[in-house]
Structure 1
């Protein structure tokens, strides 16, 4: 068996098995990515409200934001340690406080009025999508392996398509040369 043919058969095996194994990772990333794209229509995330129009210099201080958010009586959202992230959105003039348990509080940045206290699972889905939910071992080993394997899948796929084309072109040229010699 020629080296080219054995490389072709090896490429097919590598392509098939790495593709089957990695399809689980790629499917997971695709599903969580779709959930992120359609999170508001699916009810996974809450629509952002709009606060009273004011300049950022008129915003309430951060300690008051924390105090208002933790005093809403939400389960598992009672102290500053329960807060996952606080986002200031100047275009909407709101603070969005996300708690570790996927609770979400939106507060008018200038008045301190609570605009929404609905659950928001987008942070959880983001951590699933980027792999941080599983820890650094997953992000830096499994996702690195998946990325490198995708490169390998691409090259083996190119070879599996290119090699037969090359062989056909070579056979046509040989047949054409033989025909020219015969005439």
Structure 2
């Protein structure tokens, strides 16, 4: 068997087994990604409320946002360390606060009025999707492996697609040269 044919056989095996093993990681990332895309229609997160019409320069300070967020007597929220993320949404003039324990809060950015206080599982989904829920060992091992494997799968797939075409063209050229 020629070297290209051996490489083709090895490429098929690598493609098959790495694809089977890594399909679980790809499926997990795809499912959590789809849930993130459709989290509002599925009711996983709260709809964006609208704050009073004001310019960003009229927004309350971040210290005030944190103070209001912590003072809401939400279960499991006692300090700034319990806040996962604070987002400012200028189009709605709100601050959206997401807590580590799947609580959500929306504040009017100019008045500090609480517009919504609701369970918000998007933080949980985000941490699942980006791998931070499992820790850095998962992110830097499994997700790195998944990314590199996707590159490997792409190249082995291109080779498995291109090699038979190359062989057919080569055989066709030999046949046409013999006929002349």
Please state how far the C-alpha of 1:171 moved relative to its aligned partner.
1.5
Does the 8 Å CA contact 2:95/2:108 hold for their aligned counterparts? Answer: yes
Normalising by structure 2, report the TM-score.
0.92
Map of 1:135 onto structure 2:
135
Q: Any gaps of 5 or more consecutive residues in structure 2?
A: none
Q: Does 1:145 align with 2:145?
A: yes
Please state how far the C-alpha of 1:105 moved relative to its aligned partner.
0.8
Does the 8 Å CA contact 2:96/2:106 hold for their aligned counterparts? Answer: yes
The SS at the match of 2:78 is coil
Normalising by structure 1, report the TM-score.
0.91
Please state how far the C-alpha of 1:117 moved relative to its aligned partner.
0.3
Q: Deviations along 1:41-82, whole A, 9 cap, x unmatched?
A: 011111111111122333233333223222323211233332
Q: Any gaps of 5 or more consecutive residues in structure 1?
A: none
Q: Please provide the CA RMSD for this pair.
A: 1.5
The SS at the match of 1:84 is strand
Does the 8 Å CA contact 2:107/2:115 hold for their aligned counterparts? Answer: yes
Q: Distance in 2 between matches of 1:82 and 1:66?
A: 11
Displaced runs of 4 or more, over 4 A: none
Number of residue pairs aligned between Structure 1 and Structure 2:
180
Note the 1:1-183 alignment, pairs <5 A.
Answer: 1-180=1-180
Q: Distance in 2 between matches of 1:160 and 1:56?
A: 55
Q: Deviations along 1:138-179, whole A, 9 cap, x unmatched?
A: 222211111111111111111111111111112222222222
